[in-house]
């Protein structure tokens, strides 16, 4: 472990805290914990170990700002400021690009860079006086199925909406007052006519009582003294003139009141309780003043590019009007900002092609999108005018996205943008180890944890080195380290500690923060280990212990495994046979049809021929068995098989407390080289767990990634086959397969 992780000097840390730039002295030689370490409030300064990626991102950002400044000079927005104006062709106004595609392993900070760029954009927009815009959707009175679009300066959208709502309220108020007046007038006129009818009937009664003359006779005599006949005659004459008109007026007055209360024309509720209205809809609101950042990861067609809602009352003007059913997509809401799509390879071909239109044109009409339309509906006929979608696309993915991304989309990104590789590691320097302290302090603040003591920070740095698989590097895959930080802090909190100590970090690493794939692999190896015949003691002729790794095919997680390898050789000429027996060379317990192990097997034969002048396939009956291995593959088995055969040929037993790994190569000159292999850390840990005393590995692996203080087992570097044989073979006379032990041709 490094003696001086963080140096001993005093550094002036420039930080942006709540919008203010401050300078803070930090004594790296004397700091006890991260408690008072200053954390920058700008996300762009949270990005660690991706300097080259940030440089490319800033270059794209400068290009983007230049594009927007030029667009501002052309006053491109004037064509969209009035919904009644004709919209121009985007290809003549808005140029495509720039775009970014960030490719790298999970946890390297792709999402953080996307959000940090949006934050940076907000600062740049304020400095360069670049304006954001709100978008409004208007009703098209001439052709309702084609709503109109207008854009306005930031904050104007809400004002226009409030103004139009006020106008609508005034119109509705006047209409309501007029309707009330009409209701009152109809009811009063109806009551008046009915009252007149009753008044005439009362007058008829008074006339009957006064007994006037009617046609020269008294009224009673003319009607045969029957008042009812007289009244009916009068009533029949009055009904068409008073009661029928009056009752009709009252009925219509009551009907208008009831219809207006329970849902009259213009009040039929549609989606979300909306009603028929001419008020426009604010579909994009940038009143916050922040550059838009829209994370569209995993979003489908309708979410990405907008859609038209379906309304059960959409026919006949009874439901929500067309312009109120328009919903802007991510591409529109991210206009003049960042549209971030992680795992961009998962876009459907249809979505990728539509995204091409957005990137090329900078605009896209909003219409019904998606596979599941629920049948043919009138919503399918609705499409807005071209709607601005001038987006800065930031895509992200793993390296397999290169082959899986839609070719046309990849071509646009190459042509108008940049593809940036994210680093998996950074140099193990004092500067970068200090950045690890910054990273720890950031996560402590983000998750409200207790501070980390200096030795706990050192252990996190060492874990970062181990995870890089390099001696002189630190991993930039920070997400797994976040889990370690949180778990270690929780362990310390449970013990009522004021700070996190090294032991908490070590416990988190060893016992609590393994991926499920690693847990499964270790469990399988542990269970299988109970059945393996592996005893790291003594010396044996014809048996050696090699090292391998078991790899999860989906996550890439690896764990080490110890192999028990045995061999048997018999010289063909010494067999008591009547007829000569052909020699053979067989290897069992290996993966069938795999090129790596097949190449290793072939090279072992040639190496033995070079070293001893013996052909193990023709002069001998040779059998090598990877016992209980269940299909070994890979180049690292080569040195194991070679040492095993050398042991038999020279008659020297092999130390059973030593295990080996390395790739055998054909000899050139005076030596046979053993070259580097993968998974060395996992292999050494497996040998350590089984109780081996020593492990021999290629010298290049040792120089590149091994810090001996990480292991309790002795790790020995070796570069040639002779180096391996010196560590493994015991100089003890023993019965050999040939009559006399063969000597190596090369020293």
Indicate the pairing of strand 20-27 with strand 10-17.
antiparallel
Contacts with 532 (C-beta within 8 Å, 6 or more apart), sequence order: 562, 564, 628
Token pair recorded at residue 540: 């044996």
| Residues in the chain, total | 747
Reduce the DSSP state of residue 612 to 3 states and report it: helix
Q: Is 383 a catalytic residue?
A: no
Indicate the pairing of strand 133-138 with strand 148-153.
antiparallel
Nearest to 641 by CA among 620, 625, 617, 665: 625
In angstroms, the CA 704 to CA 683 distance is: 15
C-alpha 703: how far from chain center: 36
Instruction: Say which of 120, 477, 683, 685 is annotated catalytic.
Output: 683
Indicate the pairing of strand 100-103 with strand 392-397.
parallel
DSSP labels, 133-190 = EEEEEE--SS-TTS-EEEEEETTHHHHHHHHHHHHHHHHHHHHHHHHHHHHHHHHHHH
Contacts with 494 (C-beta within 8 Å, 6 or more apart), sequence order: none
What distance, in Å, lies between the first and last C-alpha atoms of the chain? Answer: 36
In angstroms, the CA 499 to CA 489 distance is: 8
Contacts with 719 (C-beta within 8 Å, 6 or more apart), sequence order: 673, 674, 698, 699, 700
Using only C-alpha atoms, the chain has a radius of gyration, in whole angstroms, of 44
Instruction: Say which of 561, 636, 647, 705 is annotated catalytic.
Output: 636
- Evaluate whether 732 touches 540 at the Cβ level (below 8 Å): no
Q: Is 636 a catalytic residue?
A: yes
In angstroms, the CA 296 to CA 334 distance is: 10
Dihedral-angle region of residue 27 (phi above 0 means left; psi in -120 to 50 means alpha; beta otherwise): beta
Q: How large is the greatest C-alpha to C-alpha distance in the chain, in angstroms? A: 169
Burial class (CB in 10 A: 0-12, 13-18, 19+), 123: middle
In angstroms, the CA 328 to CA 311 distance is: 17
The sign of the torsion formed by the CA atoms of 258, 262, 266, 267 equals positive
Catalytic residues: 636, 683
């Amino acid at each position: 472990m490094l003696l001086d992780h963080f140096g001993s000097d005093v550094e002036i840390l420039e930080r942006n805290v709540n919008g203010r730039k401050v300078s803070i002295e930090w004594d790296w030689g004397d700091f006890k914990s991260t408690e008072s370490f200053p954390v920058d409030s700008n996300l762009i300064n949270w990005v660690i170990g991706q300097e080259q990626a940030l440089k490319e991102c800033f270059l794209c950002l400068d290009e983007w700002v230049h594009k927007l400044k030029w667009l501002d000079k052309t006053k491109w927005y004037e064509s969209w400021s009035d919904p009644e104006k004709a919209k121009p062709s985007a290809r003549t106004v808005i140029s495509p690009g720039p775009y970014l595609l960030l490719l790298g392993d999970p946890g390297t900070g792709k999402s953080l860079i996307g959000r940090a760029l949006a934050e940076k954009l907000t600062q740049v927009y304020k400095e360069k006086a670049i304006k954001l815009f709100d978008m409004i959707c208007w009703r098209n009175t001439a052709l309702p199925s084609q709503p109109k679009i207008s854009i306005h300066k930031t904050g104007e959208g809400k004002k226009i909406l409030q103004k139009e709502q006020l106008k609508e309220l005034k119109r509705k108020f006047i209409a309501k007052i007029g309707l009330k007046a009409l209701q009152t007038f109809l009811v009063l006129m109806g009551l008046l006519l009915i009252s007149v009818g009753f008044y005439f009937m009362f007058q008829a009664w008074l006339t009957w009582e006064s007994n006037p003359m009617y046609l020269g006779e008294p009224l009673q005599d003319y009607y045969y003294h029957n008042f009812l006949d007289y009244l009916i005659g009068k009533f029949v004459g009055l009904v068409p003139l008073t009661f029928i008109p009056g009752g009709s007026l009252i009925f219509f007055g009551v009907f208008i009141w009831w219809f207006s209360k329970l849902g009259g024309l213009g009040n039929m509720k549609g989606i979300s309780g909306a009603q028929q209205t001419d008020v426009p809809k604010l579909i994009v609101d940038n009143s916050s003043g922040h550059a838009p950042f829209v994370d569209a990861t995993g979003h489908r067609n309708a979410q990405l590019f907008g859609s038209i809602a379906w309304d059960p009352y959409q026919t006949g003007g009874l439901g929500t009007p067309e312009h109120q059913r328009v919903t802007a997509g991510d591409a529109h809401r991210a206009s003049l900002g960042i549209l971030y799509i992680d795992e961009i390879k998962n876009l459907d071909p249809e979505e990728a092609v539509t995204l091409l239109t957005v990137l090329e044109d900078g605009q896209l009409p909003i219409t019904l999108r998606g596979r599941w339309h629920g049948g043919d509906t009138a919503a399918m006929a609705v499409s807005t005018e071209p709607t601005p979608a001038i987006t800065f696309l930031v895509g992200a993915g793993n390296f397999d996205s290169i082959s899986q991304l839609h070719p046309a989309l990849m071509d646009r990104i190459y042509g108008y943008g940049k593809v940036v590789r994210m680093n998996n590691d950074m140099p193990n320097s004092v500067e970068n180890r200090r950045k690890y302290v910054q990273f720890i302090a950031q996560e402590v603040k983000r998750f409200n944890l207790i501070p980390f003591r200096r030795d706990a920070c050192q252990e996190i740095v060492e874990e970062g080195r181990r995870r890089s698989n390099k001696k002189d590097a630190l991993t930039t895959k920070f997400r797994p380290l976040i889990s370690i930080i949180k778990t270690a802090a929780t362990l310390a909190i449970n013990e009522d500690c004021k700070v996190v100590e090294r032991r908490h970090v070590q416990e988190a690493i060893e016992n609590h923060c393994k991926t499920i794939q690693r847990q499964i692999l270790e469990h399988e190896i542990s269970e299988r280990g109970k059945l393996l015949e592996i005893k790291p003691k003594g010396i044996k002729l014809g048996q050696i212990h090699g090292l391998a790794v078991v790899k999860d095919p989906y996550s890439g997680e690896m764990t080490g495994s110890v192999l028990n390898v045995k061999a048997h050789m018999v010289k063909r000429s010494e067999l008591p046979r009547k007829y000569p027996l052909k020699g053979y060379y067989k290897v069992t317990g290996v993966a069938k049809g795999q090129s790596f192990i097949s190449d290793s097997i072939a090279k072992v034969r040639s190496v033995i021929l070079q070293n001893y002048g013996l052909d193990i396939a023709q002069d001998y009956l040779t059998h090598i068995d990877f016992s209980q291995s269940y299909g070994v593959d890979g180049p690292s088995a080569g040195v194991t098989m070679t040492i095993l055969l050398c042991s038999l040929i020279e008659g020297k037993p092999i130390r059973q407390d030593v295990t080996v790994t390395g790739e055998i190569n054909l000899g050139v000159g005076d030596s046979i080289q053993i070259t580097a292999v993968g998974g060395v850390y996992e292999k050494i840990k497996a040998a350590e767990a089984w109780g081996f005393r020593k492990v021999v590995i290629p010298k290049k692996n040792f120089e590149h990634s091994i810090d001996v203080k990480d292991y309790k087992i002795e790790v020995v570097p070796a570069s040639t086959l002779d180096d391996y044989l010196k560590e493994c073979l015991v100089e003890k006379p023993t019965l050999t397969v040939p009559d006399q032990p063969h000597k190596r041709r090369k020293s």
